[in-house]
Amino acid sequence: MDNKTYRKAHKRNKKSQDRDIKETMNKEDNRIPPRRPVWNVWQGLFLLLIIYGIEFFFGWLRTPKDLDQLEGFFRFLTVGMGEALLYLVIILCFFKLIHRPLRELGLVRPHGRFVVLGLMMGVFLLVVVGMIGNFLANKLGTPAPQSFTLVLMGAQYDWQLILLIILGGLIAPIKEEVFFRGIFYPPFRQEYGRGKGILFTAGLFALLHFDVLRFIPLLVGGVVLTWLYEKTGSLWPSIIAHGTWNTLMALMVWIQR
């Protein structure tokens, strides 16, 4: 083989290698959760600071009162809906500014079997997290009821239950999964790897509920929900699991009140 022929063959091989590398990188870039997110954890925390600032301005961070009355019920519902809308608007504006598609939040259509897995994991969370919570309550004492539980126990009509399930079983899971799993998990994963990324995301999820006695149960729940996102490549199974978990807990409180 003369030098000219060798150079041509080498050039073809180089182009082929470059094409293979580019295809591999494109496949990697298209994977969900994104392997190379263009945003970072600090930007996510800055978004959270903006959200808390707006909530403080509107008085949404104050402890709700009269949750067993209709006035308190409607105030709780309004704040819950407004908070969810605020989170989603801030996130959408952020993604618009960084010119990224919403699919990088994990909002892609899941395979049918992963929808079933989401439902199953919701039941799993109810049982396992409930057992952990009961064990810790026996050791450390029963924590004070959460606001959602109080408003649910004070509800007197079926339509109140339906509205609370819509809030707790649908709207809140979408808000929390998009924010914690969608925003925080990809940069945690990129920086620390899959295992630590799942743990750090779950830890932040538990920490920002501001409930010391429920930290460990929430941490376990966060680990399962983040793992589910990693496993399925879609945020919807995590949303379904979270919503199933919340809905079943709400129904149990309603029945036992």
- Cα distances from 58 to residues 36, 38, 102, 166, 253, in angstroms, run 36, 31, 28, 23, 30
Percent over 90 (pLDDT), the chain: 70
Q: What is the DSSP string of 32-50?
A: SS-SS-SS-HHHHHHHHHH
Say if residue 86's pLDDT is above 80.
yes
d(CA 136, CA 14): 61
The pLDDT value given to residue 14: 53
| 114, 237 Cβ separation under 8 angstroms | yes
Rg over alpha carbons for the chain, rounded to the nearest Å, is 22
d(CA 107, CA 29): 15
pLDDT digits (tens, 9 = 90+) for 137-167: 888 888 888 899 999 998 889 999 999 999 9
Q: Mean pLDDT in the chain? A: 89
| 224, 241 Cβ separation under 8 angstroms | yes
Mean pLDDT, rounded, for 62-91: 91
Q: Where are the domains of the chain?
A: 39-256
The pLDDT value given to residue 11: 58
pLDDT digits (tens, 9 = 90+) for 14-45: 555 545 444 444 444 578 888 899 999 999 99
Would you call 145 helix, strand, or coil by DSSP? coil
pTM reported for the whole predicted model: 0.86
* 35 alpha carbon, distance to own chain's centre: 17
| 188, 197 Cβ separation under 8 angstroms | yes
